[in-house]
Amino acid sequence: MMSSLKHVNPTVKGIKESAHSVLQSLAAHVTQEIAQGVQKPFKGVIDINSGDPHKAGMKPISFVRQVLAVCLHPELLGNKTLPLDVRLRAQRLLEVCEGGSVGSYTDSSGIPHIRQSIADFIIRRDVGVPSYANNVFISAGSQKGLMVILKLLASGEGDTQTGVLTPMPCPHTLPTLLDDAGMTLVPYQLMEDQGWAVDLSELHRALKCGRGHCNPRAIYISNPGNPTGHVQDWKSIEEVIRFAAAERLLLMVDEVYQDSVYGQGKEFLSYKRVLFEMGKEYSETVELVSFHSLSSACMGECGLRAGYMELVNMDPEVMYFVDTMLCTDISTPVTGQLALDLMVKPPKPGDHSYDTYTQEILLIRATLSQNAQRAHEFLNDLPGMSSQPAMGGIYLYSRLHLPSDIIQKAKIVEVEADVLYCQMLLEEEGVFLGAGCQNGETTGNHYLRLCILVPTDTLEKVLAQLASFHLRLIDKHPPTDR
């Protein structure tokens, strides 16, 4: 019987209620109050704490949606109001679905044709570095793929438990994932004053420290950085690879924001590309997993649930287990898989949809880059806030110098001070931002996280309300800890 929690699987029971779910519950509560007619100084909650672009009002890419609509309802193949390349593409994709229907199960690692499309995309992206469909695994979101890899790595308890070198700050979803998988988080601090760069000596320090209390077997990297907005250059990537090679660590690289680098003079470089230019000593030995997602910046199709990972230098038997573990889901949702194909193989010059597609992508990129700059400047003008400029990705991560009154109050009510700040902001202004402690902050510093992939007017509204709240707060509690 499950009637008593005593009997719930002890591993599951260990999952903590995170700061994230505390704020999430409060947001749901406020939303419900508004629905029930409770008077508030705002009309609804604006949630830009996490990356969900469509929810925030960003528009989907028409080409993607048109092709999917035809695949779902193939009678539209004959509908002349839809561009010809849309219909041809839908026809081609239906051919790779079993029985010509998106309603059939697929191989658990994904539709072979689409795994091939992804490999082709990777080859183009990495200027010729080889990539093979068999090394590409499609899953219901990149987080699912990551979970599979974590589960494969997990073993031991206490001092022998698998440890993962994890950046601080890290994506706010990561600590819970590591916890669920039964792994030890081994923190390495990113360098705020260098725009959140990775520091080699810090990696060595962290590893040494980790080896004292667990068995570190992997390093996690987010590039472009979530939530930091940092974009690694060639030299930095090379350093991390050499470090992983020397220390025999698996490299897990979240590269889901590869399509959204906007910092002046910055470009996205994949770990795989750098690895393959370092010579066979590295390219044939370092174990690398790279994640990408349909939820990423320009597509923003979080709800369709699809992502992929490419495994490099992984033991064939490990690949077999990856496949086995993906089997539990039976297969990845087909609409998501088809959308992945469209993401990695967009319309080409000359295709009917090319111009529209290109304009839509450019607009999203322009919005993102302008928002990044605008939010950075705006926040830096507020007393007690200072952010590093974001160079890529969809977040801005800003330091928050809190009045000591607030820090004291937080101690009394037993929440982190940045969570308290976010709670007050949510209650007073209906603006839902993320708190740095969700990103693993343990330095005692406080931070705010904003998703900046939102329509410009939404961002303006958020900034205005944030400023109004923040200035009221500073006014009431003059800062003392700056």
Ligand X SMILES: Cc1ncc(COP(=O)(O)O)c(C=O)c1O
Binding site for ligand X (CB under 6 A): 51, 141-143, 171, 173, 222, 226, 254, 256, 293, 295, 302, 307, 330
One of 19, 23, 68, 164 touching a second copy (CB under 8 A): 68
Q: Which of ligand X, a second copy, none does residue 293 bind (CB under 5 to 8 Å by kind)?
A: ligand X
Rule CB under 8 A: is residue 85 a binding residue for a second copy? no
DSSP state, 392?
A: B
Q: Which of a second copy, ligand X, none does residue 73 bind (CB under 5 to 8 Å by kind)?
A: a second copy
Considering the complex, state which of residue 67 and residue 294 has its C-beta at the smaller distance from ligand X.
294
Q: Which of a second copy, ligand X, none does residue 266 bind (CB under 5 to 8 Å by kind)?
A: none
3-state secondary structure of 365: helix
Q: Please count the other Cβ atoms lying within 10 Å of the Cβ belonging to residue 275.
A: 26
Residue 344 tokens, joined = 């990695």
d(CA 56, CA 246): 43
Considering the complex, state which of residue 108 and residue 465 has its C-beta at the smaller distance from ligand X.
108
| CB proximity list for 218: less than 8 A, separation 6 or greater | 153, 162, 163, 164, 165, 249, 250, 251, 252
Q: Which of a second copy, ligand X, none does residue 315 bind (CB under 5 to 8 Å by kind)?
A: a second copy
Give residue 409's Cα distance to chain centre.
32
β-bridge partners, 204: none
By CB under 8 A, the residues from 127 to 146 that bind a second copy are: 140-141, 143-144
Q: Please count the other Cβ atoms lying within 10 Å of the Cβ belonging to residue 161.
A: 16
One of 25, 29, 92, 104 touching a second copy (CB under 8 A): 104
| CB proximity list for 458: less than 8 A, separation 6 or greater | 46, 48, 56, 57
Q: Which of ligand X, a second copy, none does residue 171 bind (CB under 5 to 8 Å by kind)?
A: ligand X
Angle subtended by helix axes 334-344 and 84-95, to nearest 10: 130
Rule CB under 8 A: is residue 73 a binding residue for a second copy? yes
Considering the complex, state which of residue 131 and residue 226 has its C-beta at the smaller distance from ligand X.
226
Q: Which of a second copy, ligand X, none does residue 23 bind (CB under 5 to 8 Å by kind)?
A: none
Residue 182 tokens, joined = 């039964």
Considering the complex, state which of residue 97 and residue 385 has its C-beta at the smaller distance from ligand X.
97
Nearest distance from C-beta of residue 229 to ligand X, angstroms: 13
One of 22, 123, 154, 209 touching a second copy (CB under 8 A): 154
Nearest distance from C-beta of residue 412 to a second copy, angstroms: 27
Q: What are phi and psi of 378, to 5 degrees?
A: -60, -50
CB 273 within 8 A of CB 127: yes
Helices vs. strands in the chain: H and E counts, helices first: 17, 13
By CB under 8 A, the residues from 4 to 43 that bind a second copy are: 4-5, 7-10, 12-13, 15
